[in-house]
Amino acid sequence: MGQTVFAQLMEHLPRYEFQKCVGRYQGDARLRGFSCWDQYLAMCFAQLTYRESLRDIEACLGSISGKLYHMGFRGKVARSNLADANEAHDWRIFADFAQALISIARPMYVHDPIGVEMDHALYAFDSTTIDLCLSLFPWAKFRRHKAAVKMHTLLHLRGNIPTFVGITDGKVSDVTMLDEILPEAGAFYVMDRGYVDFGRLYVFTLSAAFFVTRTKKNVLLQRRYSHEVDKSTGVHSDHTVILTSIQSIKAYPDTMRRVTYVDPETHKRFRFLTNNFVLPALTIAKIYKSRWQVELFFKWIKQHLRIKAFYGTSENAVKTQIWIAVSVYVLVAIIRKRLELDASLYQILQILSVTLFEKTPILQVFQEDISQTDLSADSNQLILFDL
């Protein structure tokens, strides 16, 4: 008899790396019949099949108890075991393992197009807020009567692979998370104007990395040089500028480049700031436009993975669930390349959700004509892997 599709999918995980992560935080030091691996398998199953609760996970896996051993489970999948594991097993185990998967996935997408003609690495940095109930999640206080966590994400736009994820309570300012990023020399980082902090942006310049962001209305700039532009492209000006306020110029003493662009469809005017003086002005505008990929990433995972409703209320349980969701996203991105699939990520997840228990070669599962499969999804949801 063959393996289930779920077992074949899990074989693409580097088990040795997982055990290193477990050992690093002594995850199985007090093993009570339900290991970190059992927990990870159960939570992956919940993500792939959109389970609503621990009771739902227990009931669904209990209905196929005869197959669980062959799916990799060794402990008893009970609601109490899974709840205890989510409370006790350090969330950093799953964070580190997700990073191990990211290191596998990134080289696979290094040659994927990004819609901008450039050879450099391009990252988008942003955050999304996940609302919570204050009475159930008091540790995540956001406002007076509201709780929330923020998911700060640095997305590599070749393949839309998250390379950094920071999970904080809702009160943490977005701009302070720039301190957690180690800029990569030669890479571009695109951010909205909420991240305009000239002291922090100067770190990118000192690291030989480039930023592209929108300027704020209250930023005082003085034009030093004007550069010729082709206004038919939408670019209205290209200036070399310096900051003029004493505080700002102390934080960022070098010159910057300000590009003004008018969208031909909406006629909205945008002013971008960057420390790159080489790329054409239109390319700078296109780089900023690509920032929307991170917005689509947040929309996608909120709709198609379980990160809005949580199986536990502690900080450890919430972070564990989010990191496992990220790892499932990256795992599917990995098999998409390994199996050379043309299907979108959404289509792959939809097919997996209804075939996990089948004993069919995993590649055969995807060999049917995807275009004839009735999968409801709008174009925005599919754009992540249809570039």
pLDDT tens figures, 130-169: 998 888 898 898 887 889 999 999 999 988 999 999 999 9
Per residue in 50-92, pLDDT tens?
A: 888 899 998 988 888 888 888 888 878 888 999 999 999 999 9
pLDDT in tens, 253-298: 999 999 999 988 888 999 999 999 999 999 999 999 999 999 999 9
Residue 40 half-sphere exposure toward CB, CA atoms < 13 A: 31
* Closest-CA residue to 153 (of 125, 129, 113, 117): 125
pLDDT computed for residue 294 by the predictor: 92
The residue that leads in pLDDT, 379 or 263, is 263
* Residue 150: predicted pLDDT: 94
Q: What is the model's pLDDT at position 129? A: 93
Answer whether 0.85 is exceeded by the pTM. Answer: yes
Of residues 370 and 306, more confidently modeled: 306
pLDDT in tens, 22-33: 999 988 777 667
Task: State what percent of residues in the chain have pLDDT above 90.
Answer: 59
Q: pLDDT averaged over the chain? A: 88
**pLDDT (0 to 100) of residue 36:** 93
Task: Determine the pLDDT at residue 368.
Answer: 63
Q: Which of 79-83, 99-103, 349-353 has the highest mean pLDDT?
A: 99-103
How long, in residues, is the chain? 387
Report the share of the chain in percent with pLDDT over 70.
94
pLDDT of residue 273: 97
pLDDT exceeds cutoff 60 at 383: no
* pLDDT value for 31: 62
Position 123 pLDDT exceeds 60: yes
pLDDT of 372 over the 70 cut:
no
pLDDT in tens, 184-228: 999 999 999 999 999 999 999 999 999 999 998 888 899 999 999
What is the pLDDT, as a whole number, of residue 380? 41
